[in-house]
């Protein structure tokens, strides 16, 4: 029994405050969840362009263009790419070099590569120093937009490289084995910026009509000539 005149605590009076606190906590959780979702979305949206941007910077578009040349699979059995210099020509302009192993003869390989270059918009470039020194095989030069391209197709090197500084020893297998090892051809592609290619600039000439008077005339046998006697 309750003592007379004693007030009884009203539990119903605390219920509205608890519900209000619960609603506040739910609102904070919703805000936190929305903020996390927004942050994740921003990270994902920024990561995708960043990934492709880094990929674009690391992969030279010239190699992508060479990958799209219309050559059969046997003409590009193995490909090795090398790059040097700066894409923006800081100190040195970029030099792209590709070495390709072909399964067929140099003549047939050179034909398919030249046709593929023409289809891709490259124009034959008749210029001196193409090649810069006498070489075996087929050597042609090409131009397109701001780029120059050297294409060299020749027979593969069949002699193994020296080992531990010793001179290379030419193997002497049977004729059939040697022919199988030396079959196919080797393709070298060199792409440069035209502004960095010395062959696009005026070439020096030794034509006397262009040089004018010889700055170093021929000296007679007696550089002093005949001395004039002075009066005594």
The mean-pLDDT minimum among 21-30, 52-61, 193-202 falls in: 52-61
The mean-pLDDT minimum among 14-28, 129-143, 199-213 falls in: 199-213
Compute the distance between CA of residue 203 and CA of residue 210 in angstroms, rounded to an integer.
Answer: 12
- At 64 the pLDDT is 93
Q: Is 85 exposed, middle or buried (0-12, 13-18, 19+ CB in 10 A)?
A: middle
Encode pLDDT of 167-210 as tens digits.
444 444 444 444 456 789 999 999 999 998 999 988 665 544 45
Closest CA to 118 of 110, 108, 130: 110
Compute the distance between CA of residue 15 and CA of residue 167 in angstroms, rounded to an integer.
Answer: 97
Closest CA to 99 of 125, 63, 53: 63
Q: Which residue has the tokens 């263009």?
A: 65
- At 157 the pLDDT is 82
Sequence-ordered list of residues with C-beta below 8 angstroms from that of 190, at least 6 positions apart, any chain: 95, 96, 97, 98, 149, 150, 152
Compute the distance between CA of residue 204 and CA of residue 211 in angstroms, rounded to an integer.
Answer: 10
- At 28 the pLDDT is 86
Q: What percent of the chain has pLDDT over 70?
A: 63
- At 70 the pLDDT is 96
Encode pLDDT of 57-100 as tens digits.
457 899 999 999 999 999 999 999 999 988 777 778 899 999 99
Alpha helices in the chain (DSSP H): 15-58, 61-67, 106-119, 175-181, 208-211
In contact, 156 and 186? CB cutoff 8 Å: yes
In contact, 146 and 61? CB cutoff 8 Å: no
Mean pLDDT of 40-60: 58
In contact, 152 and 187? CB cutoff 8 Å: yes
Compute the distance between CA of residue 137 and CA of residue 154 in angstroms, rounded to an integer.
Answer: 4
């Amino acid at each position: 029994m309750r003592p007379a005149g004693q007030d009884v605590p009203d539990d119903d009076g605390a219920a509205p405050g608890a519900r209000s606190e619960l609603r506040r906590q739910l609102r904070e959780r919703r805000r936190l969840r929305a903020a996390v979702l927004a942050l994740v979305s921003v990270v994902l949206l920024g990561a995708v362009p960043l990934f492709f941007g880094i990929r674009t910077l690391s992969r030279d578009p010239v190699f992508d263009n060479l990958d799209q040349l219309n050559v059969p699979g046997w003409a590009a059995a193995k490909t090795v790419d090398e790059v040097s210099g700066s894409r923006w020509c800081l100190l040195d302009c970029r030099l792209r070099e590709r070495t390709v192993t072909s399964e067929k003869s140099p003549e047939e390989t050179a034909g398919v590569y030249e046709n593929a270059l023409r289809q891709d918009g490259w124009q034959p470039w008749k210029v001196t120093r193409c090649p810069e020194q006498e070489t075996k095989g087929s050597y042609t030069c090409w131009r397109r937009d701001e780029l120059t391209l050297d294409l060299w197709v020749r027979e593969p090197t069949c002699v193994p490289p020296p080992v531990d500084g010793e001179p290379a020893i030419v193997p002497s297998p049977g004729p059939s084995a040697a022919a199988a090892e030396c079959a196919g051809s080797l393709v070298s592609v060199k792409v440069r910026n035209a502004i960095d290619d010395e062959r696009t600039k005026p070439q020096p000439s030794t034509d006397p009509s262009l040089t004018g008077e010889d700055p170093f005339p021929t000296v007679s046998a007696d550089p002093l000539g005949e001395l004039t006697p002075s009066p005594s």
